[in-house]
Amino acid sequence: MKRAQVLMIAATLLLLTAVSTLLFSQSKVKFDQPVLITSAGQSADVTIAGMLFKKANVQARAISLAKASDLEGIKTLVVVAGFSSKGLGAAGISREQELDRVKSLLAAAQEKKLKIVTFHLGGKARRGNQSDDFNKMAAEVSSYLLVVKQGNEDQFFSKLAAEKKIAIELVDKIADAVQPLAKMFEK
């Protein structure tokens, strides 16, 4: 293959990557209301997500321990991923019980063909072995990931998004998530 052809292919690939990143980062993926917010790992980041929805003027109901029956009438399921031992203690459940709950909830949402979104807001504090089972479980069945960059320093979410062809928005700070969130639900 000639050098010019190699350069051409490389340039095309680069362009395609840039365009797809731009499209994804512009939150072109649209979602409908009503929205249910739940946790995967029982961190208090659900409360933060609730506040983001308020700031973005998007109606959403938050149930940290949501079950399949709570999906009735819901169009978008937002899963706030990240493990918290205190949160599990507060919920009175074990990590295994939480993994089972999240797994069944996600399966039910997929069966109902709901759109699933994963939020990862807690940065490094919500990474590591305990959290990553929840992060992966939720992210890989999502159609959109909204991630605070500090939690993606090792490209955990970016790699997963590229592999599964999932749209991803990386924000510097939690507060920066308001704008893409509002765009997600723009009519």
For another protein, the closer of residues 68 and 91 by Cβ is: 91
The residues, any chain, with a CB within 8 Å of residue 106's CB and separated by 6 or more, are 77, 79, 116, 137, 138, 141
Would you count residue 123 as binding another protein (CB under 8 A)?
A: yes
Candidates 125, 132, 140, 158: give the one binding another protein (CB under 8 A): 125
Instruction: Report the alpha-carbon distance of residue 50 to residue 60 in Å, rounded.
Output: 7
Q: Could you say which residues in the range 127-186 bind another protein, by CB under 8 A?
A: 127-128, 130, 150, 154, 173-175
> One-letter amino acid identity for 183?
K
Would you count residue 41 as binding another protein (CB under 8 A)?
A: no
Instruction: Report the alpha-carbon distance of residue 43 to residue 24 in Å, rounded.
Output: 27
Instruction: Report the alpha-carbon distance of residue 98 to residue 103 in Å, rounded.
Output: 8
Candidates 30, 67, 112, 124: give the one binding another protein (CB under 8 A): 124
> Residue 50, exposed/middle/buried by CB under 10 A (0-12, 13-18, 19+)?
middle
Candidates 27, 38, 84, 152: give the one binding another protein (CB under 8 A): 84
**With contact defined as beta carbons under 8 Å apart, do 15 and 52 qualify?**
no
Q: How far is the CB of 89 from another protein (least distance, A)?
A: 3
Candidates 22, 89, 107, 159: give the one binding another protein (CB under 8 A): 89
Would you count residue 63 as binding another protein (CB under 8 A)?
A: no
Binding site for another protein (CB under 8 A): 43-45, 47-48, 50-51, 83-87, 89-90, 92, 122-128, 130, 150, 154, 173-175
